[in-house]
Amino acid sequence: MSPDSLNSLFQLCIGFALAGTLASGYQVLAQRPAGFALLKDGEVPKALAAVPFLVFAAPFIIMRNTLLGRRIEHSRRIQFVMMATVLAGFWSLMSGTFIVMTLQALGVLA
């Protein structure tokens, strides 16, 4: 495996791990699962504060909603599930890349 491929895999894993950690932490604190409905809850400042959280937690939320929907609605097509998986993977790769680049800029990672 080339170093670039290994770096991309690392960034993908970091993105998914961060998304799962954020969504699980929110569920522990708020006693309800995180979702995109946070953008519609309450007043505008509260909704705007949810945007950075949702940017990094979205891969987990997308996969959770997709797998729950597939389990509940047996008629959901596998192509939809695969498309959601690719979307969540790409989103996770981008958020993982941002985190790794930020840590490198701060001097935490070499």
Distance CA 89, CA 91 (A): 5
Average pLDDT value for residue range 77-88: 91
CA 66 to mean position of chain CA atoms: 13
Say yes or no to pLDDT of 15 above 90: yes
Residue 17 has pLDDT above 90, yes or no: yes
Mean predicted confidence (pLDDT) in 14-40:
93
42 — pLDDT class (breaks 50, 70, 90): confident
Q: Which of 104, 23, 31 is nearest to 56 (CA)?
A: 23
Domain locations in the chain? 3-105
Q: Mean of the per-residue pLDDT values for the chain?
A: 91
Q: What is d(CA 60, CA 8) in angstroms, rounded to the nearest whole number?
A: 18
So what's the pLDDT on residue 96? 96
> Residue type at 69?
G
Enter the pTM of the model: 0.86
